[in-house]
Amino acid sequence: MLNVSIIGASGYAGAQLTALIHQHPAMQIARLYVSAHSNDANKVFSETARQYSHFPSIPLVPLTVAECADVAASCDALFLCTPHEFSHEAMPQLVNRRAKIFDLSGAFRLSDLDIFAANYGFKNTHADIQQKAVYGLAEWFAADIAKADLVAVPGCYPTASLTGLLPLQRAGLLDSSVRPVINAISGVTGAGRKAVLNTSFCEVSLQAYGVLSHRHTPEIESYLEQKVIFTPHLGNFKRGILATITTKLGKTVNEEQVNHAFAEFYRQQPLVRLSRSFPKVSDVANTPFVDVHWQVDEQSGYVVIGCALDNLLKGAASQAVQCANLVFGLSSTQGLLP
């Protein structure tokens, strides 16, 4: 049985991850941590996530960066559901110890450190650690993930966007001179648990934000190897992401080639479901799946792709568990499917 610790267990993604580890047949919770300054420090996990009130009384242990080395030395797997700044500061204390590290923040997703600084507002000063980080898009980088000591788990928007676009890009079916246009809507849990007025459920009305400047844009572009136009929206629903992607196909590409690309790349990926109609958020909420559908207009040469996933599961916690399963030689869906 693998001993697992989680830092940031009281946030939305951290609580979801705790629940997944609790039910995982090959993993068990060693300890749960929160920041030493957190209002949840020394509370019991079920006090901060009442839907899990049936769980054992697991304390939320306050943790400082200086104490992180001991944490990484005392468990097999360590998940960070923490702000980017904390993950960046703590990582030198965590790597090269017993634990395999799965970081759900964006601190080590971008290999270009100049682009990282421009989008995250601080510099990544650990270039040596960044070089060791493997991007945790489980369906596409499984072989690299399996050998990794540090996995940078993707953001929820990039997961939806790349799941929809990579089959066509890898098959050489996209017109590289035309940027894919990605419009994606996220539920309010994507903004985190911290109380902020403009992301309060009662204040949210469907709106675009981060237009032409969202920090997930370079993450999508880096792994797609193509520039995109990405526009996120915040919706007044709790959880889920719906991405609608419009992109230009190569001049001679037909519908049969597009259909073949999706079928070929995802035929052995049980958590990617190729739908017969455009997916809805309700199809995937509270599940580890990502649903994909597409429609080709051969006359104009465009394809529209729809991707739906749960931002707290496939966009965060369940994808982190997928990565951990791969690292420890387990089935990628263990603990995620009945």
Which residue ranges make up each domain of the chain? 2-154+315-327, 156-311
Q: Mean pLDDT over residues 319-338, rounded?
A: 97
Q: Mean pLDDT over residues 150-154, rounded?
A: 98
Assign 188 a pLDDT band (cuts: 50, 70, 90): confident
Tell me the pairing of strands 290-297 and 241-248.
unpaired
Percent of the residues in the chain that have a pLDDT greater than 90, as a whole number: 87
Comparing 218 with 338, which gets the higher pLDDT? 218
Domain 156-311 fold is Dihydrodipicolinate Reductase; domain 2 (3.30.360)
Average pLDDT, whole number, for the chain? 94
Region label for 192, one of left (φ > 0), alpha (ψ between -120 and 50) or beta (otherwise)? left
pLDDT reported for residue 284: 97
- Kindly list the strands in the beta sheet with 272-274, ordered across the sheet, starting from the edge strand earlier in the chain: 207-208, 229-234, 181-186, 241-248, 302-309, 290-297, 272-274
pLDDT in tens, 199-220: 555 576 788 999 999 999 999 9
Question: Is pLDDT of 109 > 80?
Answer: yes
pLDDT reported for residue 54: 82
pLDDT in tens, 139-149: 999 999 999 99
Annotated catalytic residue, options 68, 75, 81, 156: 156
Buried b / exposed e along 293-316 (16+ C-beta atoms within 10 A): bbebeeeebbbbbbbbbbbbbbbb
Q: Mean pLDDT over residues 105-112, rounded?
A: 97
pLDDT reported for residue 201: 56
Give the H or E element holding residue 242.
strand 241-248
Residue 307 known to be catalytic: no
Question: Is pLDDT of 317 > 90?
Answer: yes
Comparing 129 with 198, which gets the higher pLDDT? 129
Nearest to 54 by CA among 96, 23, 93: 23
CATH 3.30.300.160 fits 2-154+315-327, yes or no: no
Number of alpha helices (DSSP H) and beta strands (DSSP E) in the chain:
12, 14
pLDDT reported for residue 199: 58
pLDDT reported for residue 229: 98
Q: Mean pLDDT over residues 244-260, rounded?
A: 98
Phi, then psi, of 25 in degrees rounded to 5: -70, -15
pLDDT in tens, 36-86: 989 999 899 888 887 877 887 899 999 999 999 999 999 999 999 999 999
Domains 2-154+315-327 and 156-311 share a fold: no
pLDDT in tens, 23-35: 999 999 999 999 9
pLDDT reported for residue 202: 57
Q: Mean pLDDT over residues 312-327, rounded?
A: 98
Q: Mean pLDDT over residues 308-313, rounded?
A: 97
